[in-house]
Amino acid sequence: MKDQLPANRQNAIKIFQAGLQAVAPGAAIKNVCHLDQSILSVDGQKYDLDTYSSILIIGAGKAGSSMGKAVEDILGDRISKGLIVVKYDHLEELKTIKIHEAGHPVPDQNGLEGAQAIYRLASSAKEDTLVLCLISGGGSALLTLPVEGGTLEDKQETTQVLLSCGATIHEINAIRKHLSLIKGGGLAKAVYPATLITLILSDVVGDDLDSIASGPSVPDSKTYADCQAIFKKYAITKDIPESVRRHIESGIAGNIAETPKPGQEFFRKTQNVIVASNFNALLKAKEKADELGYNTLILSSMLEGETREVAAIHIAIAREIHSHGYPLQKPACLLSGGETTVRIQGNGKGGRNQEFALAAAIKMAGMKNSIVLSAGTDGTDGPTDAAGAIVDGRTVERAVKAGLDPQQYLDNNDSYHFFDKLNDLFKTGPTHTNVMDLRIILIL
């Protein structure tokens, strides 16, 4: 049988790229926002721009620059002022809106300064001001504004502990909201009584509004007690900075006000719209896979859990297809999305997608003409310059011939250096969007 691996690798990349195109921020925003003379329609809700004294644009996230460009295309010189915080090098050339670069996933001083500037701009809004907030993945780290008595260092240390213990993004953001003036509805509180429209590119499983970028414009469903429960769940209480523990305990005792909750006046003049999500990307990816001749199944856009375990389940399904033609006949394409977590036990370098690919490669050893591509839609996987990695049934064989022990690299959480040596890293550069991860498995 003719070797199908090179063609399948290219097809996997084509399917991934099709998914990306479906969640391009510019097109997504223009699908829900339309301007007809002075009437701005946002997901069917109409605003007469002539009734507002000024229009402010604020926001944060990896897709912020592209989202800002789309809003400038729509509103033009009606925009009075704007500021968006983005991850370093995630840039577009804008006319009116200023871009402020900062650190992600661990917040830095630039993020603190950017959040302070956005908070001042939001607080300057008057009752007849229209504020458009542009939120995308990464916004939690990029909008860093500690509560009174909190410090940037405390937030950095807490973030590192949460990332390392395997906490989900929902759990991490629950903590972040209770350590911030701007998250968990804090931005809506600062803007009120102005009108606030938030356009959101979802990078959270289930598209929960109060988890995306830690919900700066929506009510917070979590409490201080929830935060303490998360610390206990992962047995990390002793690793959390003392000042953070004291703050959470004071909140539980009622000495500190809770984050804004449903029904409060701050949300009376707000509209929140998800413009694109992981499911949109999966639908377009499926369309492309069908076009390329694969029998395609979307497993889920909501997969969570430990990366290696999720990889094992994916490959078990792929092996069933490979051996028995169930639940799909070959040629087959399995698609999934969501965001897994990595429990860090080694001192290597990598990200959840590269770790998924390495764990999958070990499980699928010997499956001829089968491909796995796992990558982040934002073009960044963990603290690396790769979006993810691409593997096949011969990856382990190639590694052994090169003197590499795949299991040893996996145990050390060192997937980046493993794939770098095999030239199997998948690099896209910044994609200017972010709707979590896409996993593509092709079986012939």
Task: Give the CATH fold of the 24-145+180-222+259-276 domain.
Answer: Rossmann fold (3.40.50)
Given this model, what pLDDT does residue 3 score?
54
Given this model, what pLDDT does residue 245 score?
96
Given this model, what pLDDT does residue 1 score?
37
| pLDDT, mean of residues 45-49 | 98
Q: Which among 137, 223, 121, 136 is positioned nearest to 177, based on CA atoms?
A: 223
> 49-86, pLDDT tens digit by residue?
999 999 999 999 999 999 999 999 999 999 999 999 99
Contacts of 50 (CB under 8 A, 6+ apart): 38
Q: Which of 28-37, 39-48, 105-114, 297-306 has the lowest mean pLDDT?
A: 105-114
What 3-state class would DSSP assign to 100?
strand
Given this model, what pLDDT does residue 386 score?
98
Given this model, what pLDDT does residue 204 score?
87
* CATH superfamily of the domain spanning 5-17+279-443: MOFRL domain (3.40.1480.10)
Q: Which among 59, 39, 58 is positioned nearest to 48, based on CA atoms?
A: 39
User: Are 160 and 241 within 8 A, CB to CB?
Assistant: no
| pLDDT, mean of residues 296-307 | 96
Average pLDDT, rounded, for the chain = 95
For the chain, which residues make up each domain, given as ranges? Answer: 5-17+279-443, 24-145+180-222+259-276
> 381-430, pLDDT tens digit by residue?
989 999 999 999 999 999 999 999 999 999 999 999 999 999 999 999 98
List, in sequence order, the alpha helices (H) in 297-351: 307-324
Packing angle between helix 169-177 and helix 152-165, nearest 10 degrees?
160
pTM for this predicted structure: 0.87
* % residues pLDDT > 70 (the chain): 99
| pLDDT, mean of residues 238-251 | 96
> 167-222, pLDDT tens digit by residue?
988 899 899 999 999 999 999 999 999 999 999 999 988 898 988 999 999 999 99
Quote the tokens at residue 30.
């223009």
List, in sequence order, the alpha helices (H) in 192-291: 224-233, 242-252, 278-291
Q: How far apart are CA 63 and CA 79, in angstroms?
A: 19
Whether the pLDDT of residue 242 is over 80: the answer is yes
> 330-359, pLDDT tens digit by residue?
999 999 999 999 989 999 999 999 999 999
| pLDDT, mean of residues 298-326 | 97
pLDDT band at 141, cuts 50/70/90? confident
